[in-house]
Amino acid sequence: MSKSNREALLRHGEEILKAWALDRDAGVEALRNITGRDSTADLAIAARLGAQAEPASVEVLLALENSSTDKQVRKEVRRSLYRLERRGLSIPQPAPAEPPRVAPAPALEGSVSAVDGNGDQIVWLLKPRPGGLAHVFAVINYTHGLREVELTPTTRKALREVEQELLHKHELRFVKADWRYCAHLMDRAFRWATEHGYQISGDYPGIRAQLLKEPAAEMPPLILRYVDLEAVRGDAQLLLDSPRLLEEKEFRTWFFDGEALKAYIDETRQIRDSPLVLNQAQQQDRFRALGERAVEELFGGERRLSWVYRLQEMAYFLHATRRGEPAKRALAVALALESSTRGGRDIPFCEQLARRSLAAHLQAEAEREQEQARSSLVVTPQQAVREAQQRRQR
């Protein structure tokens, strides 16, 4: 407001006050009683109060500032308060304006699947966004690390439909998990893959940066939030009962493939087809020694940590699906493997899994050989040796 305009408004305000029978000598209380009737009059009142050096003038000016919506009146109030402060009156300072409230960032959500027989696990991260969700889909392998990751927009309805389809067609189920832990699983798998030179499909660092700002943090296994670690460690029966894990449907695909067992299958064949004359007891001793070495090597060395991680994650999945005792058994196996110096030796679950896989491959091979023998008139040297041994044993 220009000086001439202000002065014109003040003259008009004074005329209003004069019409209301309030001359120049009107006191603070008289002025207080007529505030708020007319904005131009309020402007003149504010100017008058600046010349009356009383605490009551400060009180009326502050009340006028709070009640008036007229910008010119509020400016005049500030001018008069400054004049009064210069004359020694105490002017309360306005409370600092509250910083604008920033709505908290939407919380992320996490989900995980069970670990399958190949060592694969699916991990999801969800972040609410206007109109839908940002969905991070990752495939973790506990031998090769992060295999695949992608970020797609979706909705809760669409995501529920995907979950239902995966459940009905593939019996693939997801359970809720702390999103920070899900991020930890992805980060750990990404580091493993990059450190060992395994290929990753998708730009994990770029995708992560879109959802998370904080750096990656190591976290203990999620199952440890829900079970008493020392109680599991001290319960020997859990380990003894651990082969019962193979009865759980999620463990149906846990099986060593032919490539992993090739060396042991070949050695079994050599023992069986050896030209040396071995009685049944001697063969059984060799087979037993082979089985012990297999379970030690299959679950030991660089593979040991992979199996520890798999069983820790299965322990959480079983707990989340209300299978408390199986969850403790899985954790007991993980703990035993973690401290083992002989791979899966003396760990019933590991021994059973290795024996079951090896027996199945040997049986399949024997059936193939029998089928080939029935369709062939040629007797191989190995078959001749076996038949001769069988005749001698009779």
Q: Is the pLDDT of residue 322 over 70?
A: yes
Query: Quick one: pLDDT at residue 276?
Result: 63
* Band of residue 314 on the pLDDT scale cut at 50, 70, 90: very high
For position 361, what pLDDT does the model report?
Answer: 87
In the chain, what percentage of residues exceed pLDDT 70? 88
Residue 385 vs residue 123, higher pLDDT: 123
Mean pLDDT of 72-80: 88
Q: Which residue has the higher pLDDT, 97 or 240?
A: 240
Query: For residue range 178-205, what is the model confidence (pLDDT) as tens digits?
Result: 999 999 999 999 999 999 999 999 999 9
Give the pLDDT score at 93: 75
- Whole-angstrom Cα distance, residue 245 to residue 249? 9
Q: What is the pLDDT of residue 200?
A: 96
Residue 60's pLDDT is what? Answer: 86
Residue 239: C-alpha distances to residues 62, 119, 201, 253, 341 (Å): 77, 21, 38, 21, 17
- Interval 60-74 mean pLDDT: 86
Most confidently modeled range among 65-79, 142-156, 355-369? 142-156
5-39: string of b/e by CB count within 10 Å (b at 16+)?
Answer: ebeebbeebbebbeeeebeeebebeebbebbeebe
- How are the residues of the chain apportioned to helix, strand and coil, as percentages rounded to the nearest 5? 60, 10, 30
